[in-house]
Structure 1
Amino acid sequence: MAASVVVLAAAPIAKPNCPDRCGDVKIPYPFGTRKGCYLDPFYFINCTDDNSNKTLQPIHGNVVVRSISLDGHFEFSGYPASECYKNVNSIFYRITTFDSISYTQNVFVAVGCDTIAYLNGTKNGRNFSMGCMSVCQDSNDVVNGSCLGIGCCQVEIPRGLWDFTIEARSFSGHKEVWKFNPCSNAFIVKKDAFNFSTKYLHALYTNNSSFPMVVNWGIGIETCKIARSKSDFPCRGNSKCYDDFVDYNGYRCRCNPGYVGNQTSPMVAKIPRRE
């Protein structure tokens, strides 16, 4: 007897009669692009024209959304913090839009030959800071593709780092290296999405470069126990609620066994049984 083939239609990810994408980005509930399509205003995605007026781009707060996944990850375009020659004021780059940095999907990177960079935040309710340092005197010592401390360094990010700022500093104001490296730069970037080039020593700041960054998201700020009493509680039908206050505020929903789809609402589809 020939084996049967299971065909599963794609389950909806947005609320009924609501757009499920903006440009090339899928927009799953509890997010939405218009009133009545998101859980509350925090999850509003402003779907607007980009600078070319040719493509729609999703904006959340002040960041450009690159993707939203139902497993609780939110990817957007982030910019470096920089300090440059004859400019002693660092740019403090603060992200509070969501919750914690995804420690599994990002790294912290510093670029420069007179550079010390800080990633500051809170962990376990206490202030936390870590850093990365790169010092060199000649651009010929810097190697394309290498981020091991000469012109570029990177470090892993600890789990549960919240409410963070990025700070770029220099030791001597780039006075000795300004001709080939006028700026210190620091940023968080999605793993495998950044390949160091020696041209970044001079052009990273001036080119207004951005990099993909991933943070975690949850629903609301309450525990499942408290959220269940609310009329707009989304984990109904064939999904259940669970908490994880290490990586995000609030809660998330998970499909029951045998179901697939957007687990943040009852809009899930049953997986057909093989005969």
Structure 2
Amino acid sequence: MRFEEQSAIVRELFPAEYAEFVVAVTELGGTTVLMAVLAVLFWSGWRRRSALVISYAVAGLALLLSIKALFGLPRPPEDVLLLPLEEEREGYGFPSGHAFAATVVYGGLVAASDRTRDVRALAAAGTLVALVSLSRVVLGVHYLGDVIVGAVLGVAFLAAMARLAGDDPRRGFAIAFGLALVTVVVAGATEDSLLGLGGAIGGLCSAGWIDRLPDLRTRLETGALVAVGSGGAAAIQVAEATVSFVPALVALYAALVAWVFLAPIAVGRLGIGATGTFRA
């Protein structure tokens, strides 16, 4: 049951003049924004915990794509769209990937920081998930049932990953790699499935260096690392947009995740003063 009638009520309650605001809110559950948040946290010194959540996000992407392909349920009809968002019409509609991803990332950050009993942290994460989920219904790209199931699956997935991966990002990426291989078979070699596969490979190859990275000494160093890291990630994404060869796409996605983890080493060796001395 996808709650089609209840979804129509939600859409009718929201004023159309705030459509652009809804689009901005929905981006908080998109892959680009979520990975940017996790990358900045990593470059700011919150390394092992954010790396763990990145492994959750990559594994979760692979799992959700398989679930979507297995159910094969369509999105709501085009005439209910709040805005003509062609890119939002792609793929299947059940369950909601944005609701799932927001739950995994924002909830994962709460869990990774051992704040699951902190009411304020839980409320903040819950509010973000609720806003992202409602934005999907208001935009007309999901039904209410899609986002509810997506969020519930996200909570269950977090619990499973916490048990299976513990606090080791490498385990998380190993799980992600296995799920990604299944997804490529089930859902095909789509852009998202290749992102999951490449991300898992990149994480497996680079996560072992996390505890050996140089320490950040000043806020200036942190800012420089965030700036250089963001520039490198943007360059990889620009290159990705020009490539259609499947192995090259997987390699670029792997490089993107590896760059997040290894940027402190690269910046240190460039001698621009962003980090301290690398510990061999």
**Band of TM-score, shorter chain:** under 0.3
Q: Max radius of gyration: which structure?
A: 1
More strand per residue: 1
Instruction: Say which structure, 1 or 2, has more relative contact order (CA 8 Å, 6+ apart).
Output: 2
- TM-score w.r.t. structure 1 length? 0.23
